[in-house]
A = this chain, B = another copy of it.
Amino acid sequence: MRVSHLSAALLVALGLSWSSATLASETRIPDSVVKDATALRDRALQDNTSWKIVESLTSEVGPRLAGSEGDARAVAWAKAKFKALGYDKVWTQDVTFPKWERRSEHGEVLGRSSQELKLTALGGSPGGTVQGEVVRFDDLKALQAVKPGSLKGKIVFVDILMPRARDGHGYGIGSTVRRAGPPAAARAGAVGYVMRPAGTDWHRNPHTGMTRFDDQTPIPSASLTNNDADQLARLVALGKTEIKVALDCGFNGMYTSQNVIGEITGTTKPDEIVALGGHLDSWDLGTGAIDDGGGVALTMAVGHLIKQMKIKPVRTIRVVAFANEEQGLFGGRVYTESQQKDIRKHQMVMESDSGPGMIYAFGGNWAPEAGAAVKQMYDVIAPLGIAYEPLKGSAESEMGLMQARGAASAAFSHDASLYFDLHHTPDDTLDKIDPKALKQNTAAYAAVALMAANAEGSLGSGPEIAKPER
């Protein structure tokens, strides 16, 4: 093994010396733990606990927009579910945020081709009814470059197609149009904003998601469907086109929800933590099956399966169902803040929040001395059809915040080819989860979590290995 060579090289690259790093003997996974993890993996492949959890959440609770009545029911559901699954300890953290509500929304083309436009308000949009001539941009920079006030009375339409990709990278484009478009339109003097969705489907389902306005006066801002964006582009090409956008939505006071946390207490190192997570809230349009019911379900199933198999984790397995991810990682920020002093106690963090598609690659972040141990972890999940990408990728969403503070992480790359057909739409429903992929996911997270919990030695969490969240 050339691990110590590699370690030295990395330390040099990081500007550290051997003496400044937490020097430990090389971390390893004992054979008995590899054996347990292999059995756990195989059990998970045959088990439908994850499915039953996500079925229960999406059916019995359904949509759970942060701050809504569904949010409160989701919190109660999560507390009860952790207990029912045999977790040793269930606790919560209060998470307070501005409550955004969607009450009604409507769009239409006016005049010679009058017809409905299917759209949905972007999260954070103010309400209001506006109408005006459409000015179409196929380039965000062009919108950002127009003279302030020069689009007075217009409705800006940003028409940029988000590409489909297994690694979901197209969302970088789509989400930028969603975040940066509305303030740019407001700055230009527009009375409203519509966009081609941050989404890859043509099923007449609009994609919601947050936007923000910083110092501009907010304007009603909505996403069309791809079908309606096509239609609007055709009409604009034919001549002057006026539309009306009527949104009844907006911020309405503060709300306190909760992170719900379940733990399987470690035997000899209960203060050290392997933390898994997903987010409990969803957008309101669908039932949040792929975003992020699947992530909540598969991480919740991990502790249950370990209990069922009577395996004793040395460290504590902690599963966090985060509050209000969608509107700005509110739950993740509360959690990360609360763990600031305990970053080094987080043996490893991991999160599933890019949909429960098949995992095709495994990477993450860890200290040099943990490389061999992580390779041992990989070897257990390799038969699940997963490639190895050591020291690549990031823990997602909330756990990305923990990684950015220095927590060692496992990063699972889920196939996101279809994820953005569904993401933030009414079409995010239980039927979209592939039960086989969900089992593969559960098997991979469970095996890695157990090996991290029972590793001999640390994976090296600490500010010195901090990697920014993606």
Contacts and interface: CB of A to CB of B under 8 A. Distances in A.
A112 interface: yes
A115 B204 contact: no
Contacts of A69: 114
A70 interface: yes
A84 interface: no
A430 interface: yes
Interface string A112-152: 11111010000000000000000000000000000000000
A115 B203 contact: no
Interface in A224-238: 226-227, 230-231, 234-235, 238
Interface stretch (A30-38, A53-61, A306-314, A355-363): A53-61
Interface string A306-329: 000000000000000000000000
Contacts of A230: 429-431
A372 B190 CA distance: 67
Nearest to A202: B431
A227 B429 contact: yes
Interface in A392-444: 425-427, 429-432
Interface string A59-75: 11111000001100000
Contacts of A61: 113
Interface residues of A, number: 36
A204 B202 contact: no
A286 interface: yes
Nearest to A115: B62
A344 B342 CA distance: 90
Contacts of A112: 60
Interface string A78-102: 0000000000000000000000000
A430 B240 CA distance: 21
Count of chain copies? 2
Given A70-B115, A426-B118, A427-B203, A59 B287 contact: no
Contact of A202 (B226, B235, B429): B429
Nearest to A431: B202
Contacts of A115: 62-63, 70, 287
Contacts of A55: 234
A70 B431 CA distance: 35
Nearest to A227: B429
A458 interface: no
Nearest to A231: B59
A66 to B, nearest CB: 16
A205 interface: yes
Contacts of A114: 62, 69-70
Given A59-B231, A61-B113, A204 B286 contact: yes
Interface string A183-209: 000000000000000000111110000
19 contacts: A59-B231, A59-B235, A59-B238, A61-B113, A62-B114, A62-B115, A69-B114, A70-B115, A118-B426, A202-B432, A203-B427, A204-B205, A204-B286, A204-B425, A204-B427, A204-B429, A226-B431, A231-B287, A231-B430
